[in-house]
Amino acid sequence: MATFFGEVVVAPSRAGVDDEESAEEAREETPEDREIRRELEKKSAAPLPSASSAREVAVLWSSESGALAESAAEEPLVCSELIVAIGHSAAAFLSSFILDSVCWEVVGVVKLWNEWCRTSNTTNVLPTDSFCLFYRLISDPTILLCQCSCYVAEDQQFQWLEKVFGRMQKEGLTVTILSTCPVADYKTQESTLTLPSPFLKALKTKEFKEQVCCPLLEQPNIVRDLPAA
């Protein structure tokens, strides 16, 4: 470690480290590794599933009886507005400013499992929980909200989109995505220290003809992961 600014120090070298020590370090498991190993051991008692089925995304919708079940064969959901909040911050925003009333009811849930997330059916969730729930406005059933604070892996994003939007009527549907990213990832010629925090930017498709509520996101900034999909 340098004792004064500008001092030249020699980086430590691992040359000559004992092979047994390196092997021991390689054998150390992270919590994620142990979780994956336990899941594989549970599945080994049953017929071995394929990798794709182990990471399958299941979308359950409520029936007339109120039970959640897969119902792809039923009529498409008539939906005029779908607002999807992706990430803990966006999901907490919906909880605090929109869903904090009795005007909404749970109509669907997405279940998935991957290295970083395991969702559940519970509706009594906290902003720090991992979940993906759909809510319907009681006074207007064509307006749906989705809180998705669970991590959706790259190989699961197409399944998520296909199964969620595969049940919805596409004609006349407006989709709004809410997501967040660190200010440090925002690319601008200005100093990020002078930017208000938080601030809002927007992206839109050419089909969206209405006026956006905030400035458009400048190049070369991009959106990643499920919001981009």
**Contact criterion met (CB below 8 Å) for 215 and 202:** yes
Long-range contacts of 62-69 (CB under 8 A, 24+ apart): 62/106, 62/107, 62/108, 68/108, 68/109, 68/121
- Identify the band that residue 147 occupies on the pLDDT scale cut at 50, 70 and 90: very high
d(CA 39, CA 178): 32
The percentage of the chain sitting over the pLDDT mark of 90, rounded to a whole number, equals 21
Domain boundaries, the chain: 58-62+76-181
**CA 121 to CA 126: how far, in whole Å?**
13
115: number of Cβ within 10 Å: 13
Q: So what's the pLDDT on residue 160?
A: 92
Provide CB contacts within 8 A for 79, sequence distance 6+.
142, 143, 144, 168, 169, 173
pLDDT in tens, 149-195: 888 989 899 999 999 998 888 888 999 999 998 888 888 888 877 88
Per DSSP, the three-state class of 217 is coil
Strands 58-62 and 104-111: antiparallel
C-alpha pair distances (Å), 124 with each of 120, 128, 129, 130 = 10, 12, 10, 11
pLDDT tens across 72-114, in order? 446 788 899 999 999 989 998 988 888 877 799 989 888 888 8
Q: Is the pLDDT of residue 23 over 70?
A: no
Residue 121, pLDDT above cutoff 90: no
Between strands 104-111 and 132-137, the pairing is antiparallel
